[in-house]
Amino acid sequence: MQQDLTMPPDPDSGAIRFLLGGHPVVERAVDPDCTVLEYLRRRRGLCGSKEGCAEGDCGACTVVIAERAPGGVALKAVNSCIQFVPALDGKALYTVEHLAAEGKLHPVQQAMVDCHGSQCGFCTPGFVMSLWALYVAHRATGSRPPDAEVRSALAGNLCRCTGYRPILAAAQHMFELPAVAFDLAALQAALDKLARDAPLAYAYAGRHFHAPRDLPHLLALRAQYPQATLLAGGTDVGLWVNKQLRRLDHIIYLGGLEQLEAISDVDGHIRIGAGAKLEAAYAALCAHYPQLFEMWQRFASRPIRNAGTLGGNVANGSPIGDSMPALLALGAQLRLTNRARTRVLPLENFYLGYQKKDLAADEILLAIDVPLPGPHLEFRTYKVAKRYDSDISAVCAAFALELDANGTIGSARVAYGGMAATPARAPQAEAALAGRPWCEHTVRGAMRALARDYAPIADMRASSAYRMQTAQNLLYRMYLETRPDAPLTAAETSVHAN
């Protein structure tokens, strides 16, 4: 790949500056909510990236975005159909057009040819870009991805023709072909040059995009423009534009603020900055709660998790969002802030009703504090959806029980998604568990109590009766996995919840 990484000096702070295939680009006349896919295809004539679903589901539009990261530069596959162009400022964008060099296919592309990984070809550029991100990451460390990692990297790419076996074969074969190096050091130097201290204040046709560079400026903007749309990873907001045809006249972008992305262990908590990407947030949570691993892998797809944030999931507050049941069960607290003060709120008090939250117009979600696990905690979380990968939950459940040495339940926190207008705890079931022995009789009582906690809706994902039965069965499943006398074996528990 030929890269010309020299960037002209920043002429003003009102232009979007990024690298496209290694070449500097300055844009001053793009709508703030123009998607990267639309920009590539219509403005740049780069039609390799395809539009399948325009909602982050199919992966036909997958591109790779590189940005500065602690310790170097990170290349990540994302869905260009739900990313906005101004969010590229300071980053590097690569598409399928940028891989072949000097008339030769890149090993990723050659492997797809050799393994017959393409038929109609519509999905192929997206697969190639997901594979390229994997290739660069593993070439940099000299490693080969295990099969599970390949599958995880490709879970967001759908193919209706080929079947996945040849594509999985290509993912291994690409490492057997003569290596093509990618100059990460040169890219990092170019991104360093591109970085600016001043915020981006971009306007076009009377519409605005602000990208503050620090928290005080972000909070000042929030106070000044309370009606503006806060944009984090855009994996919910992008759909407002594509599917609801909303125009966003004023955007405040939260990306790239170190303070918002930081993850640390503080005073017995894992503190996850609201801007931490889902991939990083789940990695940090799983280090303490390995029971969350399956949820991590089944949350959307790698490209969505590379862009979307934990704060966006919590702030969006969808009743079927996947993070909230676990966070509610674990007793997470939110740190909400404006210019004057930071307040701490238990997550269950944040949701006031369907799409109603305890968040003032001048506030943002700053961080999520998740208590570190105590020695007697039994914790489980389950997702039930129609597909294993990349699907929205019909029901999502999480249970956190403190069990003493005699098998008596000290405290119980039970929470579900998909059962009410918001993610919500189950006070009746919790009362039926607390202080009782963890036994068949107790769990059956708590299962019955769930019917008093919730009156779930019926929709295209599940009927009301299915949801209730599933919610009860998941609690019973937790019991089977953790009952003191005869817990299920590891092999038995590895059967997928759906």
Ligand X SMILES: Cc1cc2nc3c(=O)[nH]c(=O)nc-3n(C[C@H](O)[C@H](O)[C@H](O)COP(=O)(O)OP(=O)(O)OC[C@H]3O[C@@H](n4cnc5c(N)ncnc54)[C@H](O)[C@@H]3O)c2cc1C
The residues that touch ligand X, with contacts defined as CB under 6 A, are: 55-57, 229-237, 239, 254, 274, 278, 299-300, 304, 307-309, 311-313, 315-316, 321-323, 364-365, 392
Angle between helix 107-114 and 124-141 (nearest 10): 120
In one-letter notation, the amino acid at residue 351 is Y
Does 122 help bind ligand FES (rule: CB under 6 A)? yes
The strand pairing partners of 24, in sequence order, are: 19
The answer to whether residue 60 forms part of the interface with ligand FES (CB under 6 A) is: yes
Separation between Cα atoms, residue 134 and residue 286, nearest integer Å: 21
Residue 443 backbone phi and psi in degrees, to 5? -65, -35
Quick one: 343 or 444, whose CB is closer to ligand X? Answer: 343
Kindly state whether residue 54 participates in binding ligand FES, applying the rule CB under 6 A: yes
Q: In this structure, what token pair is assigned to residue 204?
A: 């076009």
Which of ligand X, ligand FES, none has residue 63 at its interface (CB below 5 to 8 Å by kind)?
Answer: none
Q: How far is the CB of 52 from ligand FES (least distance, A)?
A: 4
The CB-of-453 to ligand X minimum distance in angstroms stands at: 21
> For strand 250-253 and strand 229-231, is the pairing parallel, antiparallel, or unpaired?
parallel
- Residue 242 in contact with ligand FES, rule: CB under 6 A: no
Contact 376, 410 (CB under 8 A): yes
How near is the Cβ of 249 to ligand FES at its closest, in Å?
24
Structure-block tokens of residue 435: 């202080």
Report CA dihedral (75, 81, 85, 89) to the nearest 10 degrees.
-10
Q: Which residue is nearest to ligand X (CB)?
A: 312
Residue 270, C-beta contacts closer than 8 angstroms, at least 6 positions apart: 263, 264, 284, 285, 288, 369, 370, 372
DSSP string of 244-288, one letter each residue: S----SEEEE-TT-HHHH-EEEETTEEEEETTSBHHHHHHHHHHH
Q: Of these partners, ligand FES, ligand X, none, which one is at the site of residue 61 (CB under 5 to 8 Å by kind)?
A: ligand FES
Q: Does residue number 57 form part of the binding site for ligand FES (CB under 6 A)? A: yes
CB closer to ligand X, 48 vs 321:
321
Interaction of residue 169 with ligand FES, rule CB under 6 A: no
Among 15, 23, 47, 51, binds ligand FES (CB under 6 A): 51
Q: Contact region for ligand FES (CB under 6 A) — 154-162, 343-351, 404-412, 432-440?
A: 154-162
In the complex, least distance from residue 391 CB atom to ligand X, rounded to whole angstroms: 7
C-beta closer to ligand X: residue 99 or 300: 300
> Among residues 38 and 378, whose Cβ is nearest to ligand FES?
38
